Amino acid sequence: MGGASAVLLLALAVPLPLGGEPLSPPVARKHPYVIELNGNTRTDEYYWLRDDTRTNPDVLHYLKAENDYLAAALAHTQPLQEQLFAEMSARLDPDDTEVPWREGRYWYAWRYRKGQEHPLLTRRSGAPHAPEVVILDANQQAGTDAFYEIGGWEVSRDGKLLVFTEDRTGREIHDLRVRDLVSDALLPDHIPGAFSQVAWANDNRSLYYIRLDEALRPNRVYRHRLGANADADVLVYEEKDRTFDMSLKKTRDANFVMINLVSTLTTETRLVDANAAAATSAPFRAREKDHRYSVEIDGDEAWILSNWDAPNYRLLRTPLRDSADKSRWKEVLPHRTDVPLFDLALFRGFAVVNEVHGGTLKLRVLGRAGDEDFFIEGDEPAYSAMLGDNAEIETDTLRYVYTSLATPATVHDVNLRTGEDVTLKRDFAGTDPSPQSLRTERLAVTARDGALIPVTLLYAAGARPDGTRAVFLHGYGAYAAVFNPEFNREVLSLVKRGFVYAIAHIRGGGEFGRAWYDAGRVLNKKNTFTDFTDAARGLVKTGWAAPDRVIGFGRSAGGLLIGAVANAQPNPFALLVTEVPFVDLVTTMMDESIPLTSFEWEEWGDPHNPAHYDYMLSYSPYDQVAARVYPHMLVTTGLWDARVQYWEPAKWVARLRANKRGDSRLFFSTDMSAGHAGLAGRYQRLRETALEYAFILNTLGAGSPQ
């Protein structure tokens, strides 16, 4: 690959807004690489940018050249970036503390100290206002590492030991550690290469954790005995089907460790007796194709959310002994074609589920004796009411979180017997602008095929749809995920400058249940992209957006959305911003060595299927780059991303540079010390947002608050 010759400079000038000499962006050399499948041959001239080791000097040189180009081209925006960073930082409570929650005889809380990047895990014995003890200081653990993040954690039943996992690269490969909370010392038990989640057995000496396969897929559950060599750990369960993902958690009644196995269309939960020293795993209900379920257990009874004869799920209950026999499951809430069910929490006297009504998330409370049935909901046009920290099962108090685009996340405790609702905390949001000066509403935009696409708006009080405003339009549309309208401190810096922030609830998401999801999946995926462009055009048509001031934003799978709409002709977007975008769809889905590939086939399609291959190829952002005018674009990634590998956006930008026409700006940033989630520090991550907003404001010629 030839050392520094791997990167050449092309005289494609980008003038600086404040004058001075034009800059020339780096252009990666072409090295044709032929990919064949289904009788089809493609040439990937930038395949050489893939380096699984992240050490190839040619690749690193190119990434650095792109970073340097961006820094030089946007150097004149540094004062604006600092202003934006200061604004967003001022909306963080410097000494922020979560509302304490109870587990056993202790009250736990995460909190921050002023000026620190990472949180502390604290607990108090007996009462929420007893003396505080710090049991885990992520700042201390991080040391001088550029990236640090706590994964999972759990305290043993006797309260004496803390197991936690930590990630020091952003690669989502964790080290497992155990701290003695009596002596405040780390034990010798150290297991590298683990997944984030952990769970204690009830003997206070054994714990369960997950190991990863060669593609970084969590696929094996082990039991570790304190003090033993990790090489002697017992394999409890191995998932050999590569289309399944794995997670681990303790049931809230503390009797079982649940191994949850999930593919796009099928799930299985396996139970491990937490009270048995040498327990094996057994399925709650054996997997069957297209059956997805989740379960909550209390003693000898289980409650289940299941899509059995119910595409949008229904709620059922069964004696635990009958869990394998679906015919013994008794229906509590029937299936409804217009109301999807999501999260479930089981209490000793109640069950609580999230229901989505017209794209709005509400909580439904049901008495286990059939004596109660009521909703927890809000009065704004669009909002989210979600389950909070509910570690205890034997309580009449439900903790929930209420939020909207205009209302900071607010933690409530409601007594399910009396109905008394107490507000415990509203997240700090500063005064710039104040939440009282914000307004939110929901529109319905008509897609080209007649479907109604909900769009949730946030804007400053007094704003009107007069056809002059810039709109920051955010989309996702994948995995049946409901894009909940939640308060976002960062976008206030755009709103205070006259922008409208908008969420397009496009097909491929779960806002209207399974049919909405299926309409944006596999061979229907293009609906996701046309919905987004139609939402942009609808905002222009209704006067909420100026025709030349619409910004599209998406992250990860939402980056695939942005990559696809970048090729739209004519294009309704003036700018596109995307983080860790999944843009090399076909090549990635062909390669099972890449994390998540086989798990994703039921979401995007299996390229080994010729019909899927042709359809995926027809919209794959990397494959569809052509000689055309593109909007201004900013693309970001993390070198250590394990979900969307850095080389996808790197190759995409390289191909865009070689093909795009006109004088639109194209910038690419690689964080050399972060993964898929970006930097872990609460202030550090604001730097990337400040850069993105400065790019937007500078390109549009905006920047001063109204």
CA separation, residue 436 to residues 91, 216, 432, 439, 463 (Å): 15, 45, 11, 8, 14
- State how far Cα 603 lies from the chain centre: 16
Q: Token match 């990790």: residue?
A: 230
Cβ pair 520, 477 in contact under 8 A: yes
Alpha helices (H) in 395-491, listed in sequence order: none
Report the distance separating Cα 648 and Cα 562, nearest Å. Answer: 14
Cβ pair 281, 261 in contact under 8 A: no
Report the distance separating Cα 192 and Cα 168, nearest Å. Answer: 11
Alpha helices (H) in 356-431, listed in sequence order: none
Residues in CB range of 371: below 8 A, 6 or more apart: none
Report the distance separating Cα 534 and Cα 155, nearest Å. Answer: 49
CA separation, residue 49 to residues 262, 451, 647 (Å): 32, 40, 6
How many CB atoms within 10 Å of residue 20?
10
Look at the alpha carbons of 540, 545, 546, 548 in this order and tell me if their dihedral is positive or negative. negative
Report the distance separating Cα 605 and Cα 586, nearest Å. Answer: 9
Q: What is the CA radius of gyration of the chain?
A: 26
Per the DSSP assignment, residues forming a β-bridge with 297 are 302
Tokens describing residue 375: 């909703």
Name the strand (E) or helix (H) holding 325: none
Report the distance separating Cα 178 and Cα 187, nearest Å. Answer: 6
Long-range contacts of 46-52 (CB under 8 A, 24+ apart): 46/650, 46/651, 46/654, 46/655, 47/587, 47/651, 48/1, 48/6, 49/647, 49/650, 49/651, 49/654, 50/645, 50/647, 50/651, 51/647
* Cis peptide bond upstream of 334, omega within 30: no
Tokens describing residue 139: 């700042």
Report the distance separating Cα 457 and Cα 381, nearest Å. Answer: 10
Residues in CB range of 637: below 8 A, 6 or more apart: 579, 580, 581, 644, 646, 648, 649, 650, 668, 669, 670, 671
Q: What is the DSSP letter of 328?
A: G
Name the strand (E) or helix (H) holding 258: strand 256-262
Cβ pair 25, 657 in contact under 8 A: yes
DSSP assignment of 176-222, as one string?
A: EEEEETTTTEEEEEEEEEEEEEEEE-TTSSEEEEEEE-TTS-EEEEE
Catalytic positions are: 556, 641, 676
